[in-house]
Amino acid sequence: EAGVTQFPSHSVIEKGQTVTLRCDPISGHDNLYWYRRVMGKEIKFLLHFVKESKQDESGMPNNRFLAERTGGTYSTLKVQPAELEDSGVYFCASSQVPRNEQFFGPGTRLTVL
Amino acid sequence: AQSVAQPEDQVNVAEGNPLTVKCTYSVSGNPYLFWYVQYPNRGLQFLLKYITGDNLVKGSYGFEAEFNKSQTSFHLKKPSALVSDSALYFCAVRDTTTSGTYKYIFGTGTRLKVLA
């Protein structure tokens, strides 16, 4: 069974540009989560999808971040325009039911210059 | 507020010695606790979880964790460390304040270095 995959693995952009991160959850997992680890700090929750619906987006930092999950399969996280403080590692995770353990992808390392 | 603390940024241990990576938590209600490990250039891998039951939880790769309710701790342990255990370890607790989300609250991570 394939695990959670994320693309790209690394992205380097300039301040003001747009970047889109993609996450493909484990097949059949309705629950998809985005997290972020900034500058060696704790990993912080961004949002949670159940299928295509946003269950909880309380962790989204501001309106420069837009997450979508059209069709309830893969998800994208767009940052527009990117700022320096957006640099970090963005993790995606999925679970079959919310109370089960979450399976994480390898992360996307975003560097904003 | 719910939180997880990993007081050590780095733990060094000699190969073959026992290791402990510390974690304490603060959560309302019953805690659901997890340990994850991140190897270089890899994602977070699930090690073990405590939901209820025995205070000593056994997980992958020979790791175990001891839940201590009075000390609000969930320390990760292994009787004999391997060089290949060198990695970044994260403790997490499941949020209990938001219904239906089950999001995780993570600690800052502890880098374990096992010396040959």
Work out the pLDDT band at A1, boundaries 50, 70, 90: low
Predicted confidence (pLDDT) at residue A2 exceeds the cutoff of 90: no
Chain B contact present for A107, CB below 8 A = yes
Q: Which two tokens stand for residue B72?
A: 């609000």
Average pLDDT over residues B53-69: 94
Tens digits of per-residue pLDDT, A18-34?
999 999 999 999 999 99
Mean per-residue pLDDT of chain A: 93
Predicted confidence (pLDDT) at residue B71 exceeds the cutoff of 70: yes
User: Are B101 and A56 a contacting pair at CB < 8 A?
Assistant: yes
Work out the pLDDT band at B100, boundaries 50, 70, 90: confident
The whole-number pLDDT of residue B45 equals 92
Tens digits of per-residue pLDDT, A49-69?
999 999 999 999 999 999 999
Closest residue by Cα to residue A68 from A44, A34, A95, A43: A34
CA distance B16 to chain A (A): 28
Predicted confidence (pLDDT) at residue B55 exceeds the cutoff of 80: yes
Query: Which chain A residue is nearest to residue B103, measuring alpha carbons?
Result: A45
- Per mean pLDDT, which range of A3-7, A83-87, B41-45, B65-69 is the poorest? B41-45
Per the CB < 8 A criterion, the answer to whether B91 and B4 are in contact is yes
Predicted confidence (pLDDT) at residue B40 exceeds the cutoff of 90: no
Q: Angle at the Cα of B45 (from B88 to A51), degrees rounded to 5?
A: 130
List, as one string, the DSSP characters of A33-57: EEEEE-TTS-EEEEEEEETTEEEE-
User: Are A104 and B4 a contacting pair at CB < 8 A?
Assistant: no
User: Are A91 and B46 a contacting pair at CB < 8 A?
Assistant: no
Mutation target vs A (from B44, B93, B98; most A CBs, 10 A cutoff) = B44
Cis (ω within 30 of 0) for the bond into A8? yes
Cis (ω within 30 of 0) for the bond into A81? yes
Q: Tell me the β-bridge partners of B33.
A: B50, B93
